[in-house]
Amino acid sequence: MSKTEEHIETAALETELFASGGDNLIPDHGGGIDAIINLANKARTSRLVSVPTTGLGDGLPEEVPLLFNQETGQVTAIGDKIETYRQSPKRRAGTATATTLKSFIDLANRHKDDDSVIFGKTSWPEPALTAVFNYHGIDHTPRHRDHRALYQFPVTDELTAWIEGNNIPMEQGDFAAFLEDHAAELSAPFDAERSDYERLFKERFATPNELIDLSRHLEVFVGAKVKRGERLSSGERTVEFTEEHLNGAGEKIEIPGVFMISVPAWIDGEAVRIPARLRYRIAGGTIKWLYSLYRWEAALRERIQNDLAEAGKQTGLPVFEGAPE
Identify the pLDDT of residue 18: 47
Asked if 260 contacts 205 with a C-beta cutoff of 8 angstroms, the reply is yes
Which range scores top for mean pLDDT: 54-58, 197-201, 231-235?
197-201
| Residue 231, pLDDT above cutoff 60 | no
Concatenating the DSSP letter of every residue in 155-186 gives: B-HHHHHHHHTTT--EEHHHHHHHHHHTGGGE
Q: Which residue has the higher pLDDT, 70 or 40?
A: 70
Identify the pLDDT of residue 188: 94
| Residue 297, pLDDT above cutoff 90 | yes
Bridge pairing between strands 94-98 and 147-151: parallel
**pLDDT > 90 in the chain, percent:** 47
Confidence of residue 247 (pLDDT cuts 50, 70, 90): very low
The secondary structure element, H or E, covering residue 95 is strand 94-98
The sign of the CA dihedral 153, 319, 305, 324 is: negative
Identify the pLDDT of residue 218: 77
Concatenating the DSSP letter of every residue in 190-239 gives: PHHHHHHHHHHHT-PBPPHHHHHHHHHHHHHTTTPEEEEEEE-TTS-EEE
Identify the pLDDT of residue 37: 67
| Residue 233, pLDDT above cutoff 70 | no
Q: What is the mean pLDDT of residues 267-292?
A: 88
Identify the pLDDT of residue 109: 98
The dihedrals phi and psi of 43, each to the nearest 5 degrees, come to: -65, -35
Q: What is the mean pLDDT of residues 77-104?
A: 90
Confidence of residue 277 (pLDDT cuts 50, 70, 90): very high
Residue 265 sits at the vertex; the CA angle it makes with 262 and 269, to the nearest 5 degrees, is 100
Identify the pLDDT of residue 39: 65
The burial of 210, by beta-carbon neighbours within 10 Å (0-12 exposed, 13-18 middle, 19 or more buried), is given as middle
- pLDDT, mean over the chain: 83
Q: Which residue has the higher pLDDT, 247 or 104?
A: 104
Asked if 128 contacts 120 with a C-beta cutoff of 8 angstroms, the reply is yes
68-86: pLDDT as tens digits:
887 788 888 888 888 888 8
Identify the pLDDT of residue 27: 57
Confidence of residue 59 (pLDDT cuts 50, 70, 90): confident
CA distances from 199 to 194, 204, 277 (A): 8, 9, 13
Identify the pLDDT of residue 146: 96
104-139: pLDDT as tens digits:
999 999 999 999 999 999 999 999 999 999 999 999
Of 36-50, 201-215, 242-256, give the lowest mean pLDDT range: 242-256
Identify the pLDDT of residue 245: 40
Asked if 290 contacts 279 with a C-beta cutoff of 8 angstroms, the reply is yes
**Domains of the chain, first to last:** 3-83 (no CATH), 94-154+303-321 (3.30.720), 157-295 (no CATH)
